[in-house]
Chains A and B, each alone.
Chain A
Amino acid sequence: MIPYIRLEVRKMLRDTGYVTMGLAVPLIMYLLFTTLAIPAEDRPEGALWSMIGMAAYGALGGAFSNGTGTAEDKSLGWLRQLRLTPLTPWRVILGKTATAAIIVVPSIALVLLAGALVNHVRLNPIQWIVIIALLWVGTIPFSLFALGNGYLLSPQNAAAANLAGYIGLSVVGGLWFPTASFPGWLGTTARLSPVNGYANLSWSVAFDHAPNPRSALVLLAWFAVFAAYARYGYLRSDRMV
């Protein structure tokens, strides 16, 4: 399975969609937000808040472009060719999920490094470690959601669904604007949304020194939903191939 992951990671690192959505845009947006949009007196807090928001945004960009790539693999007959190699279908899914887990790392690292080096964000070592781990592990539900779209939809539709899901969930989840500024009904929706659960875990570690249990529950619930969706998508695509 390692050779498969190696091949898939290479493929993704050369995908302009990934490089733009997962690496360039989040980093540029982070630097723009923190240098232009945040007033000087709010800068330390804002730089920390936005660092986590944009690292999450970048990681989700990687996870979603991985799913879109899967739709492309399907239409090119690559998924079917994989079934004609000794690699079992189960390992293909596992390999593809592992690929997502690898390509989100540079996205997280880039924004966190910019936070520490450019904006001088200060956290204690345990906070750094826990935040990195949460930002990383928390992408799994979204990788599964994006894979489900990739298996189920045509490349054009998967790309559209993943882009809409990516941007929509990021906005509703409060990665761009804090959910505190949302009107009442939207605020409630936001707090139950998957991306808010994901990012708020890290925000709560950064600002309150402990992960928020309600956010953990929200993310776990969505994990169950998205895992079922990915499984359904895979089984459906298997029948169509």
Chain B
Amino acid sequence: MTNAVVLDDIRKSYQDVTAVAGLSLTIPEGQTLALCGANGAGKSTAIGMLLGVITPDSGQARLYDRDPAQAVQRGMVGAMQQEGGTPPRVTVKELLTFVRATYPNPLPMAEVVATAQIAGLERKRVDRLSGGQRQRVRFAMALAGDPRLLVLDEPTAALDVRARRDFWAAMRRLTDRGKTIVFATHYLEEADRQADRIVVMAEGRIAAQGTGADIKAAAELAAGSPLEDAFLTLTDQKPVP
């Protein structure tokens, strides 16, 4: 089976702060993986190295057995940054038309609009949308090229409950089509429900990984206890009783 992502002991420091301190991870094609961790645990830096926009100090990242930048340039990857990433003064449709044109086999526009639930926004300017609407447009940009691998950095951060539910329904349609998905999130229950596998990061390393039950076991907590308690134990933050 092909591996979508292979991270081999990647490390990155900024001045004297270690962001990622040796991360190794293999993600087989078709898996949905949730990357969890407190702020500053190294999630975004790890994602940046995975995508080839941050160069690791040592170790290497491979996507489909290629250099990440090369995989991106071949249209195998779609990504959503944690924030920003949309240009000023263009409409949703103009933006998505451009993104689709850069990929070799993009998703039909109607499908992009339906999946990202942005019907009715096409003629509006991206810089005049609400936070939640813009979030959906950013998701639409990630999937517009119909890439094999989707990398989403906190994709539901600005969404309300309804929009979040719609978002995961859209994601399931993508996983049903065999897409590999890596997403970072602060919502543990969401990770447990949506991902095949959870990776908990703390201080730039993997603190635990597996299913929700595996994570609880790693924290030596009872199966019925909340996943958030396990998370806090594993990331060295005491759970509030």
Please give the residue numbers on chain A whose beta carbons come within 8 Å of chain B beta carbons, in ascending order. 3-4, 6-7, 10-11, 14-15, 72-73, 76-78, 80-81, 83-88, 241
Contacts and interface: CB of A to CB of B under 8 A. Distances in A.
A81 B141 contact: yes
Contact of A86 (B73, B81, B95): B73
B145 A85 contact: yes
* Number of chain B interface residues as a range: 20 to 34
B95 A15 contact: no
B53 A84 contact: yes
By CB atoms of chain B within 10 A, which of A4, A14, A77, A85 has the most?
A85
Given A72-B88, A73-B87, A77-B81, A86 B75 contact: yes
25 contacts: A3-B101, A6-B98, A7-B94, A7-B98, A10-B89, A10-B90, A11-B87, A11-B89, A11-B90, A76-B86, A76-B88, A78-B87, A81-B84, A84-B51, A84-B53, A85-B72, A85-B99, A85-B102, A85-B103, A85-B145, A86-B73, A86-B74, A86-B102, A86-B104, A87-B73
Contacts of B95: 7
B21 to A, nearest CB: 21
Interface string B97-132: 111011110000000000000000000000000000
B85 interface: yes
A235 to B, nearest CB: 13
Given A6-B98, A14-B89, 7 more contacts: A11-B89, A80-B53, A80-B81, A81-B86, A84-B51, A84-B53, A84-B81
Nearest to A5: B98
